Amino acid sequence: MEDLETGDDPIEQVQRDFGDDGLDLDCEDGIYNVSGSFSNPLPIAARAATALEKHEKIPLVHARSNGRWAFIVWRRPDLLVATAPAGNAWRLYRASGLSTPTSLLASGDGLSSIGLVGKPTRIGQLPPQKALDLLTEAGLDYVSLVADLTSR
């Protein structure tokens, strides 16, 4: 999509906004990767997924730094989150109303239980069917995704 008023690609604007904060945001095979110097990847991934929601049908975000990572799949109202090594699990959330990944996860206080559907599933074990359906809708193969996330 192109912003007709400024002629800017909106994704480039999101990338510039992250760059202004010393973070790199790039897209590879449909997954937006955020890297830089940060201690907690979850609020960074949540921020990126929220910013990309207007421009992507299903934002896929992988934030990583210092051996820690978070992966988010966001399609309103479903939010799928994986984190490692902290948490080391998949969590499926159901966002209500105007909730966003940022409002649910960016407090920095750890993983929220607000909107959590079921129990967390250890990475490597199959998450709930709803989570698998969301991954399939996003064009991701669960086994390949887990192998990719855990090999970085």
Q: For 69-85, how does the pLDDT look when each residue is reduced to its tens digit (9 = 90+)?
A: 999 999 999 999 999 99
Q: Report the pLDDT value the prediction gives residue 2, as an integer from 0 to 100.
A: 41
Question: Can you give the residue range of the structural domain that contains 108?
Answer: 10-151
Q: Is residue 1 in a domain?
A: no
- 86 vs 38, 41, 42, 102, CA distance in Å? 14, 10, 10, 18
Cα separation, 118 vs 54, in Å, equals 28
47 vs 4 pLDDT, higher one: 47
Enclosing H/E stretch for 34? strand 31-35
Q: What's the structural domain count of the chain?
A: 1
Q: Is residue 104 part of a domain?
A: yes
Per-residue pLDDT, 3? 42
51 lies in some domain: yes
Q: Would you say residue 2 lies in a domain? A: no
Domain annotation covers residue 56: yes
Q: Are 21 and 76 in contact (CB under 8 A)?
A: no
| Cβ contact 30:57 at 8 Å | no
Q: Give me the phi and psi of 26, to 5 degrees please.
A: -135, 165
- Is residue 3 in some structural domain? no
Query: Rounded distance, CA 139 to CA 141, Å?
Result: 7
Give the C-alpha separation, 101 to 53, whole Å: 10
